[in-house]
Amino acid sequence: MNIPLLSAITLIGTSFSVGAFAQSQITVNPVSMVNQFEATNGKFEGYRRSGAKGICANGEFTGSPEGRALSVASVFSGKPIPVVVRFSVGGANPKAADNTKSQRNMSLQFTLPNGEQWLMGNISAPVFGSATPQQLMASLAARQPDPATKAPDPAKIKAFTDANPEVLLQGKYLASQPVPASFGSVNYWGVHAFSFTNPSGVKQFGKWVFEPVNGTQGLSDEEAKEKGGNFLFDDLRQRVKSGKVAFNFNLELAQPGDKLDDATVPLPEGRKKINLGVLKVTSVSDDDKGACLTVNFNPMVMPKGVEPSNDPMLSARAAPYAVALGRRLSEGAKQ
């Protein structure tokens, strides 16, 4: 069962450890998973198999006193921490349009002074579209284009979504929101629960969201049409130049009984929210370049003082991301 995971990781020579806990939860072969991504969403050589249209940026994170009280993680020290940022549009198509109500992503790599890293890939919805890796595989398979018609079979999709209604929640949320005016003006959620250990050893679970310091901003349908399909990169450059792109790193605190192992279920409304610090985006790289190009945003890499929850989707991300990285590196990584 664990052999595909281990060989996938060894194959590309990455050095992260997924741990016995994560390995015990891998129940979908990561190579089959990435093959299914390609079969359903298309294969675009060199590009990420999800979030393909992206741009690299750099930033700085400064932790807050509330962050230090919550967790011993060095990221919250209050000293500026360099962060590699990648913004992207959802999907496998590197030419995806910027002016639709699809997902936006913000991936982060915090480089900590003691040699640790924190990696995360956050999305512009409070929930993900599958609760388990098996459900994700089945969902992708249901939407795979029919070889004869080159289009997905609506009857197959309906049968799948009727039996798995929670897979529609993410899409419903995105459809209810306006097209984001900017990568810098939309909320990005982590969707999984993580636990944070304070200086006395007490653990607190929570789910995080990065919220723009200047508030969210969307486009009307008319404005979105006028902007066209390629405005997000230039918009980001302009806003970052004027120092306007910053996010509050906020954590919603879980209470006993809250569901912590399901990325399709947000914490109940009204949970206390604390501010862990501020992420400021300070520069944007040229298209096709930048520090993020070959970064694998494996969300199982986190600093001491932060731990994963038992969400099966969280641990199941590590190996397919490594497989996808291996493929795009061997094809020549593109952005």
Please tell me what DSSP assigns to residue 200.
T
Q: How far is Cα 29 from Cα 160, in angstroms, rounded to an integer? A: 21
Q: Is 105 in the site for ligand HEM (CB under 6 A)?
A: yes
Closest CB to ligand HEM among 86 and 101? Answer: 86
Please list every residue from 25 through 64 that binds ligand HEM, using CB under 6 A.
33-34, 37, 48-51, 54
Report which of 182, 238, 178 is spatially closest to residue 214, judged by C-alpha positions. Answer: 182
What residues have CB less than 8 Å from 227, skipping those under 6 apart? 98, 99, 219
Out of 128, 173, 210, 249, which residue is the one contacting ligand HEM (CB under 6 A)?
A: 128
**Single-letter code of the amino acid located at 79:** K
Return the residue matching tokens 């097209």.
179
Q: Is 170 in the site for ligand HEM (CB under 6 A)?
A: no
Q: How far is Cα 265 from Cα 131, in angstroms, rounded to an integer? A: 9
Give the tokens for residue 221. Answer: 């349908």
Closest CB to ligand HEM among 101 and 328? Answer: 328
What residues have CB less than 8 Å from 144, skipping those under 6 apart? 36, 39, 40, 152
Closest CB to ligand HEM among 49 and 280? Answer: 49
Q: Is 133 in the site for ligand HEM (CB under 6 A)?
A: yes
Q: Is 124 in the site for ligand HEM (CB under 6 A)?
A: no
What stretches of the chain adopt beta strand conformation (E)? 53-63, 81-89, 104-111, 117-123, 179-180, 188-189, 194-197, 203-212, 218-219, 246-253, 273-284, 306-308
Q: Is 205 in the site for ligand HEM (CB under 6 A)?
A: no
Site string for ligand HEM, 261-290 (x = CB under 6 A): --x---------------------------
SS3 content of the chain, % helix, strand, coil (to 5): 30, 25, 45
Out of 9, 56, 75, 123, which residue is the one contacting ligand HEM (CB under 6 A)?
A: 123
Q: Is 317 in the site for ligand HEM (CB under 6 A)?
A: yes
Please, what is the minimum distance in Å from the beta carbon of residue 82 to ligand HEM?
A: 17
Question: Cα-flanking dihedrals φ and ψ of residue 165, to 5°?
Answer: -60, -25
Please, what is the minimum distance in Å from the beta carbon of residue 131 to ligand HEM?
A: 10
Q: How far is Cα 190 from Cα 192, in angstroms, rounded to an integer? A: 6
Helix 318-331 vs helix 3-12: crossing angle, to nearest 10: 40
Q: Is 301 in the site for ligand HEM (CB under 6 A)?
A: no
Report which of 147, 144, 174, 38 is spatially closest to residue 93, judged by C-alpha positions. Answer: 38
Out of 59, 91, 121, 206, which residue is the one contacting ligand HEM (CB under 6 A)?
A: 121
Q: Is 22 in the site for ligand HEM (CB under 6 A)?
A: no
Q: How far is Cα 331 from Cα 328, in angstroms, rounded to an integer? A: 5
Out of 8, 83, 136, 179, which residue is the one contacting ligand HEM (CB under 6 A)?
A: 136
**Total of chain residues touching ligand HEM, rule CB under 6 A:** 30
Closest CB to ligand HEM among 99 and 296? Answer: 296
Out of 5, 8, 85, 325, which residue is the one contacting ligand HEM (CB under 6 A)?
A: 325
Q: Is 240 in the site for ligand HEM (CB under 6 A)?
A: no
Out of 296, 301, 306, 309, which residue is the one contacting ligand HEM (CB under 6 A)?
A: 296
Scanning 4-12, 142-150, 157-165, 321-329 for contacts with ligand HEM by CB under 6 A, the matching segment is 321-329
Question: Can you give the binding site for ligand HEM, defined by CB under 6 A?
Answer: 33-34, 37, 48-51, 54, 86, 88, 105, 107, 121-123, 128, 133, 136, 191, 263, 296-297, 313, 316-317, 320-321, 324-325, 328
